[in-house]
Amino acid sequence: MISRPVYGVLEPRPGAVHLIVADGEGAKAVADLVSKDPSILHKSHILYTAGPNGTDQWDSINALGAKQAQKAASIPTLLFRLARVLQDAPMGAQVYLTGTEGLMGQAERDVMALGFPHADIQKEHRGSTMRRVQCVHCKGITENVKTDPFPCSHCGLHLFVRDHYSRRLAAFQGVNIDAEEKGHIPPAVERFK
Amino acid sequence: MSLDFKYGFDDFFRDETYCDDFTYRNSPAAIRRFPFPFDRDDYMYSVNMEPHVAGRKGSVFEHTFDVDEHYLSEMRDRARVLASDPLRCQSLPHMTLAGWDLLELIMETKAREYPQWFSLAKDGNRWHWINRPLGIDQKFTFLDESTLPYGPMEYISRQTQGDFTLQDEREGTLWVDAGMVTTQADWSLDFNIGMNFHEWHAPVPLAHEKGIFDRALKFLMKLQQGSPVRRYNWTMTVNPLLDTAPETYPDWGHMRTALTPKNMGHMMHLRVELQTLYRLPRSNAICFDIRAYLGKFEELVTVPKWGRRLHRVVRDLHPDLAAYKGFLRNRDEMTQWLSQYDDGQPTSPGWWPED
């Protein structure tokens, strides 16, 4: 799928500061990153929250000994702090995102809004593949979509997940599946875990 | 300050609707000039671009921006769509200058090509625009947004047939960062705005593998000011709906199930997009104009060559394309209906009615 972001493996790069954003199983990717160059730790600021599937590895993040680290209660509360931290990010700051697509997409959106080219933001996917989907009809976003189709959490229409991703919205596109024949809704299949 | 239209419907400009009772139709003269997009009896993607230069008199290529008998009703339909969903027109903050470029291009061109309907007088940056069919008489200051009732792109595209997107060029690609999109074939500006060229084309089947988009992007990046280009695209639309947006799909999708052999000729429309691309002078942005023409099957088959050819194209189209264009469900019935107008005779090359 062409509009979907490409995820790689986090690699330490020289930088004035290292801003690391992770959720759930992303904690392991952060540990792998740091193990490649432990010297980045004293210039690192880590923002972490539990994954949508409940995975919470805050203890391993906290034990790394980064210059600053915070556990946020949720992705939205993590993004509040990220917005403030980004205001002070100097030229040469390195940005690392890891964990679920929803977390990485929203953090990338906020970082890009400050002028970072998306190609300079490193991303590594870990953990859940559940999707963040925007209903193209009511514009509401449903988090942690597991099945296709699924009911929009705002307007209730049954949506299929089109393979089309917007970086600006950090979301896939959901389109009504029974618009042509009302009530003809195929059984939901678990596509994202 | 507002933009209030005084619609000058007359013997030429038709008073018709694109929703509810669907009174849209083409006059015999409009059928003869319909931009039939098939120059042969089969269809597959190609980078089918050519210079957008003045073409045959009376055809949709005669003028840069074709103004036809549907102009006023189309503008009324656009105002209706925007009133129900303002997100159909958006412009990211860095695109305002490109909007002024577009306004200038359209006003200058229409005033030159259709002096009976449009006029533009300039005194430095103090401009005076008259649009007689829509009853507009506007004095404003070029490049000063506060002197118009809308931003420049929205102001001029509320008065111009066709959807418009404005592409910023950076990082070696094009970014769709502004647009007026109310006559689209099932794509969402609100979702796509901010995407680059390959991202917004992601859902199109087969074409990526054929390298179509790589080549098209290379071509467009070299587009020069003053040398616009054009191509056709097409799909099928049940009922004369200009607005087939994904946003409103639950409102119009069910119409696809209402087709019968009896109503096929009246309800099924060949939807042709005359797409033109212009490099803009100040912003270096690229303007993409997507002008939709709707032709009823019963209108098109009055031209014998088109009846034969449309039957063969629909019958033989790759099923992935029929699915993407949204008519796989009805293809067999469409083929059946069209076959009445195909006597098996050979057709002449090219898209004109007879050559």
- Give me the residues paired with residue B170 across strands: B173
Strand-by-strand arrangement of the A150-151 sheet: A141-145, A131-135, A171-176, A158-166, A150-151
Instruction: Give yes or no for a contact between B198 and B173, defined as CB atoms under 8 angstroms apart.
Output: yes
- Point out the least confidently predicted range of A117-126, B230-239, B327-336: A117-126
Under the banding of pLDDT at 50, 70 and 90, the label for residue B212 is: confident
Structure tokens at B71: 């102009």
Q: Count of alpha carbons within 13 Å of B75, Cβ hemisphere only? A: 27
CB contact under 8 A, A167 and B195: yes
Separation of alpha carbons A63 and A176, rounded Å: 46
Residue pLDDT, tens place only, B128-180? 999 999 999 999 999 999 999 999 999 999 999 999 999 999 989 999 999 99
CB contact under 8 A, B194 and A167: yes
- At position B127, the amino acid (one-letter code) is W
How, if at all, do strands A171-176 and A158-166 pair? antiparallel
Residue pLDDT, tens place only, A53-86? 999 999 999 999 999 999 999 999 999 999 999 9
Instruction: Give yes or no for a contact between A28 and A59, defined as CB atoms under 8 angstroms apart.
Output: no
Q: Which residues contact B182 (CB under 8 A, 6 or more apart)?
A: B77, B78, B81, B82, B88, B89, B163, B242, B243, B245
Percent of chain A scoring above 90 in pLDDT: 85
Q: What is the structure's pLDDT at B242?
A: 97
Q: What is the structure's pLDDT at B282?
A: 97
- Give me the residues paired with residue A161 across strands: A174
Q: What is the structure's pLDDT at A2?
A: 64
Structure tokens at B253: 């999708």
- Tell me, yes or no, if B201 comes closer than 8 A to chain A by beta carbon: yes
Q: Tell which B residues from 23 to 82 touch A, by Cβ distance under 8 Å.
A: none
Instruction: Give yes or no for a contact between B324 and B134, defined as CB atoms under 8 angstroms apart.
Output: no
CB contact under 8 A, A165 and B202: yes
- Tell me, yes or no, if A176 comes closer than 8 A to chain B by beta carbon: yes
Q: What is the structure's pLDDT at A91?
A: 85
CA distances from A3 to A167, B107, B173, B277 (A): 9, 36, 14, 23
Q: Is the pLDDT of residue A115 over 90?
A: no
**For residue B321, how far is the Cα from the chain centroid?**
20
CB contact under 8 A, A139 and B257: no
B231 catalytic? Reply is yes
Distance in Å, alpha carbon of A74 to nearest chain B alpha carbon? 25
Instruction: Give yes or no for a contact between B246 and A136, defined as CB atoms under 8 angstroms apart.
Output: yes
Domain A18-125: give its CATH code.
3.40.50.80
- At position B136, the amino acid (one-letter code) is I
Indicate the domain borders of chain A: 18-125, 131-190
Under the banding of pLDDT at 50, 70 and 90, the label for residue B296 is: very high
Report ipTM for this prediction.
Answer: 0.88
| Collapsed DSSP state (helix, strand, coil) of residue A171 | strand
Q: What is the structure's pLDDT at A73?
A: 97
